Structure 1
Amino acid sequence: MATASLVGQVALVTGAGRGIGREIAIGLAAEGMAVALLGRNHETLVETLRECVKHGARGIAVAADVCRPGNVREAVRSVERDLGPIDFLVNNAGQVDQDEVPIWEVDAAQWWQVVETNLRGPFNLLRTVLPGMVERRHGRILNLNSGFALRPDGHYTAYATSKGALLQLSDNIADSLAQHHVVVLDISPGAVATDMTAGMPMFKDTKGWGSIPYMVAVTVDAARGRFDGLHGRFIHAVKDNLEQLVGRAEAIQESDARTLRLRPYGPDDPLA
Structure 2
Amino acid sequence: MTATALVTGAGRGIGRAVAERLADEGIAVALLGRSPSSVADVHADLTRSGARATAVVADVTDPRAVSRAVREAEAALGPLDLVVNNAGLIDAKEVPFWEADFAQWWDVVETNLRGPANIDRAVLPGMVARRHGRIVNLGSGFAVGPDPHYSAYSVSKGALMRLTDTIAAPLAEHGVYVFDISPGAVATDMTAAMDMFEGKTDWYDIDLFLDAVVAVAHGRLDALSGRFLHAGKDDLGALAARAAELAESDARRLHLRPYGPDDPQR
Q: Say whether 1:263 aligns with 2:257.
A: yes
Cα RMSD (Å) of the superposition? 1.0
User: Does 2:165 correspond to 1:171?
Assistant: yes
Partner of 1:84: 78
Matched, 1:252 2:242: no
**Which residue is 1:47 aligned to?**
41
Q: Which runs of 4+ in 1 moved over 3 A?
A: none
Q: Distance in 1 between matches of 2:73 and 2:134?
A: 16
Residue 213 of structure 2 aligns with which residue? 219
Aligned residues: 266
Distance 2:26 2:146 in 1: 40
Q: Is the 8 A contact 1:30 1:55 kept in 2?
A: no
- Give the C-alpha shift of residue 217 in structure 1: 1.9
CA distance in 1, matches of 2:51, 2:249: 40
Give the letter aligned to residue 165 of structure 1: A
CA-CA distance at 1:214 after TM superposition:
2.7
Partner Cα distance (2:73, 2:235) in 1: 35
TM-score, scaled relative to structure 1: 0.95
Stretches of structure 2 lacking an aligned partner (at least 5 in a row): none
Q: CA deviation at 1:181?
A: 0.6
CA distance in 2, matches of 1:175, 1:222: 17
Is 2:54 the partner of 1:65?
no
Q: Deviations over 1:152-210 (max 9, x none)?
A: 21100000000000000011111110110100001000000111111110000211011
Q: 1:241 Cα deviation (Å)?
A: 1.7
Per-residue Cα deviation, 1:33-55 (whole angstroms, up to 9, x for no partner): 11000011322311111222244
- SS of equivalent to 2:59: coil
* C-alpha contact 2:212 2:236 (8 A) present in aligned 1: no
Tell me whether 1:201 sits opposite 2:195 in the alignment.
yes
TM-score, normalized by length of structure 2?
A: 0.98
2:148 counterpart SS class: coil
AA matched with 2:57: A
Q: Tell me, what secondary structure is at the counterpart of 2:110? A: helix
Separation in structure 2 between the aligned mates of residue 189 and residue 97 of structure 1, nearest angstrom: 18
Equivalent in 144, 147, 167 of residue 141 of structure 2: 147
Cα distance in structure 1, aligned partners of 2:57 and 2:175:
30
3-state SS in 2 of match to 1:186: strand
Q: How does 1:18-29 map to 2 (within 5 A)?
A: 18-29=12-23
SS in 2 for 1:155: helix
List runs of 5+ in structure 1 lacking aligned partners: none
Question: Which moved further from structure 2: 235-244 or 257-266?
Answer: 235-244
In 2 relative to 1, CA 79–248 (structure 1 residues): closer, same or farther, beyond 3 Å? same
Q: What secondary structure, in the 3-state scheme, does the structure 2 residue paired with 1:207 have? A: coil
Say if 2:226 is the partner of 1:232: yes
Aligned sequence identity (%): 59
Contact persistence 1:36–1:79 (CA under 8 A): yes
Partner of 1:116: 110
Rounded to whole Å, the distance in 1 between the matches of 2:86 and 2:108 is 13
